Amino acid sequence: MAGPMKPSDPNRRDNNQNGGGDDKKRSPWSFFSIVMWAVMLVLLLHMCSSSMERASVQTVPYSTFYQWVEDGYVDRVDLASNAYTFTLKPNAPPLEEYLAKLTESYGKGGLSQLFGPFDPNRLTGVASENVKFQTAPLNQPDLISWLSEHGVERFEAELITTEQYMLSAIVSYVLPVLAMVVAMIFIYRYMFKKMGSGGGFGGIGGVGKSNAKVYVEKKTGVTFKDVAGQDEAKESLEEIIDFLHNPGKYTEIGAKLPKGALLVGPPGTGKTLLAKAVAGEANVPFFSISGSDFVEMFVGVGASRVRDLFKEASKMAPCIIFIDEIDTIGKSRDNRMGGNDEREQTLNQLLAELDGFDPGKGVIVLGATNRPEVLDKALLRPGRFDRRITIDRPNLAGRLATLQVHTRKIKLAEDVNLNKIALATAGCVGADLANLVNEAALRAVRKGRRLVTQEDLLASFEFVIAGSEKKNSVLTEFERKLVAYHEVGHAMVAYKQKNAEPVQKITIVPHTEGSLGYTLLMPEEDKTNLRTKAELMAKITVSMGGRAAEEVVMDTMTNGASQDIQEATNIARNMVAMYGMSEEFGMMALGSVRNQYLDGGYGLDCAQDTAAVMDKAVKAVLDVCYKDAVEVIRANREDMDKVVAYLLEKETITGGEMVAILEGRDPALVEGAYTSTRAKPQLSGDIEPPARHVHIVDEPIPLPPTPPDDDGPEEPPMDAEEIHEAIQDMEGTIEDMSGEPNQEPKDEP
């Protein structure tokens, strides 16, 4: 325990230096910086307002003011200690005319002497009644009488006292500064609370304490009933729920519950939903935070958020902390990460908190990731994330249960068979199945139905894998024929292969996913976990069927087989490199999986010469499968022509219709929109089953004739009435013997 705690101490000091703590030393400078910013903003606002006021007032020399008063042009003057502000009379002539009159009287030279440095052209285009003028005051003793003589009676002179001046300064400068300081403090606190930063932007305005951005729920609204297909994971988490309900029985015996559980699985399998279900079953607060929320550009921010997260969780214990995408902060530390890296400090703080908190308080940490191979080994060791719960893709039973959960609120028709949908969706996760059900409901609404049918579910499955139909796409006759032979080639090879999946549907309608047509294969059983070599070879052969049909029938090759070639090559490469199914290498593994839960890709762990030999082995597998596909196409050329002719007419056919054509039956009599090549034929039309010609008639059957007796003459046989009377006499005798009607006589000893 002492080893992992050592790197956490210098991290704590770094956090304090970068804003993680020691608010007392930083607070005076922070407040001073806020005041300085507020003063600067207020001065800037005053400068802007003064500039706007000056832009609306025209400044003229005192000589101009004097001349306008002499000419009776001024209407009102406001006498202030620093400036005289005056306006012109509304009925005064325009300024242009007045300037022209002055120019005639004084000339350009006299006009410049009258106005001084002021340019009279600035008054051009200015309305006299909408503009204010100001001039610098001069010491003129008879100013008031002079203004009255020239009709300027609306002059004002205001005396500003010292108190008024101080009050004006306070209102103009001090109060805005204080208001700005308060506003900036609230803004900074709110901003740092959202960011979870204690250091501020480079030390400017660093106020407030870092708080982790978490989402706390008292009731998540999700229980184990809402999670299907993950029974093993739920069993592993039930112990955690029981501990949160009854911690006493664990502490009495001395047991300690694991501090953390790591949920590992592909995207969409329901890791977050399962974590919420644990909190919903335990009925405790649920802290939900993503790993990316801890990472910021400032060093120390993530570590501060980790501390605050566990501090808040301890206050609300018992509770559950769920860290989604924990690989964001839990990546393995290597030489590329420096000692002052933000991710490393955050990881160190998380490790310290996992070691420090007491599990007896009821704080459970759940993490989720789909890249467990990149996590740091210190994070996975016992005492931190003790348990690793794998949430893999659901099997057939899991997919069926998931479909039942997602269709609880969906109105289904009587023909819906969820088991068939579960078979078709091999490899799908819970999110895919939820999307499939929703798309089926939307399709039912578009078709004007109130119930979701089996056809809607299968059509939505096709929509997910192939997209919607391209209704505006136009193909030539040659292209349609080429696509038809390509798809029928896949179907014919799959039909003739023993270990291939049955054909469900063949279409030559272009779709949005880029395919001009496709052949839908529907498995009869779940084959996601285990496949034999014969099944893999059959799958490759089916993928080669399209290109084989192009070459044999149309004597050409197209780029439409590119996806088939890629799929076949991947299977063959896995057979050689991973499955040990080649004669050249046998049980030797040439690669290892890199991203098991994402793309499933692997990297080669062999020399370049060995990789070259492996490529030859892969090509040999592909050549064998392609040769088998060509042989199937050549042996069934006539049957293919019949199927292609019907496909060109209908554009979409089922596997059952294809089998009907091959067996010489009418494909139009095949019922069902989705019938596979291995389904029992269902006939319709005028053909009646042989059982309809059998009639059952209720008639008395005569007894065989009685042989003649040696002692007497032969008695004639009894007719129907005599037989009926004899039966009634026998029933009466039985009633007399037993005392109960309709009771069979018992043999007496």
Q: pLDDT, tens digit, for every residue of 453-508?
A: 988 998 888 887 777 777 677 788 888 999 999 999 999 999 998 888 889 889 98
Is pLDDT above 60 for 168? yes
User: Token pair 């300690």 is at which residue?
Assistant: 256
Q: Where are the alpha helices (DSSP H) in 470-607?
A: 477-496, 533-553, 562-577
pLDDT more than 90, % of the chain:
15
Does the reported pTM lie above 0.85? no
pLDDT of amino acid 211? 42
pLDDT of amino acid 421? 87
121 pLDDT band, cuts 50/70/90, is low
Non-local (6+) Cβ contacts of 447 within 8 A are: 456
pLDDT of amino acid 190? 65
Is pLDDT above 70 for 440? yes
Highest mean pLDDT among 73-77, 200-204, 322-326, 721-725: 322-326
Burial class of residue 390, CB neighbours in 10 A (0-12, 13-18, 19+): middle
Token pair for 22? 């020691």
pLDDT of amino acid 279? 81
If one compares 629 and 186, the residue with the highest pLDDT of the two is 629
pLDDT of amino acid 95? 63
47 pLDDT band, cuts 50/70/90, is low
52 pLDDT band, cuts 50/70/90, is low
8 Å CB contact between 524 and 502: yes
pLDDT of amino acid 509? 86
Which is catalytic among the residues 462, 487, 550, 657? 487
Can you name the residues that pair with 286 across neighbouring β-strands? 217, 320
Residues 364 and 263: their CA atoms lie apart, in Å, by: 13
pLDDT of amino acid 643? 93
Is pLDDT above 90 for 538? yes
Q: pLDDT, tens digit, for every residue of 645-702?
A: 999 998 889 888 999 999 888 888 887 666 777 665 544 444 444 443 444 444 554 5
If one compares 664 and 88, the residue with the highest pLDDT of the two is 664
Token pair for 563? 């996806």
pLDDT more than 70, % of the chain:
67
User: What sign does the CA torsion over 375, 381, 385, 391 have?
Assistant: positive
Average pLDDT score over residue span 166-182: 71
Average pLDDT score over residue span 263-273: 87
Buried b (16+ CB within 10 A) or exposed e, 715-736: eeeeeeeeeeeeeeeeeeeeee
pLDDT of amino acid 548? 95
Is residue 487 flagged as an active site residue?
Answer: yes
Is pLDDT above 50 for 17? no
603 pLDDT band, cuts 50/70/90, is confident
pLDDT of amino acid 215? 53
